[in-house]
Amino acid sequence: MQLRYVVTGVLVAVSLAGCQRTSSNPYSDLPSPAPLQAQPVPSVQAGQLPPPGIDDPSQFPAAPASNTAVASLPPGGAGGAAPATALDVTKESMVGNWRVSSGGASCDMFLTLTNLGSGARGGTRGCAGDLTMMGSWEVSGKTVLFKNRNGDVIGRVYKSADTRFDGTTNSGQPLSLSR
């Protein structure tokens, strides 16, 4: 029985002998950098700033002329109503990954059912323009509204086929979603 304790003690001592630290700090041989010298700071001056635009009126752009063309409204006009040919859409059918085509470029859109404000959380990857700011979405009648992180509508689409939605962004770019 005592032999067992002796053998166990020897094994523990041998295994602990292999645990000693043999590495060294590779940076210990490098010289320490010299301390940085303080730099002088200029004095602070106080005074009143002139009102904007007084000294240089050209710093602001001119107001648009009254006959400036107005951008076209998204499908369905300002109210966002889908056209009569739009198919019914449910929030649950929108959840998941969508391939987006907008302004000739393609990107990905992800829609969830996680609540975010008045809508649900959503986002894009690889998109340009208005869609880069997408943070949420919601279904309103037969229209799907995409919103930025402030809750402002940035685009809308309506269901045009089983796995396709068409519409525009607020900047007037055509917008299509497909699976």
Q: Which domain holds residue 103?
A: 91-178
Q: 4 lies in a domain?
A: no
Number of domains in the chain: 1
Question: Dihedral of CA 155/159/160/164: which sign?
Answer: positive
pLDDT tens column, 77-101: 444 568 888 999 999 999 999 999 9
CA angle 100, 104, 106 (to 5 degrees): 30
| pLDDT score recorded for residue 9 | 76
- Token pair belonging to 172: 């007037």
CA angle 148, 149, 151 (to 5 degrees): 70
pLDDT band at 63, cuts 50/70/90? low
Instruction: Specify whether the CB–CB gap between 158 and 82 falls below 8 A.
Output: yes
61/101 Cα distance (integer angstroms): 34
Q: 20 lies in a domain?
A: no
Residue 142: give its domain's CATH number: 2.40.128.10
pLDDT tens column, 137-161: 999 999 999 999 899 999 999 999 9
* pLDDT over 70 (residue 17): no
Q: 13 lies in a domain?
A: no
Q: 144 lies in a domain?
A: yes
Does the pTM surpass 0.85? The reply is no
Q: 99 lies in a domain?
A: yes
Q: 137 lies in a domain?
A: yes
Q: 55 lies in a domain?
A: no
* pLDDT over 70 (residue 61): no
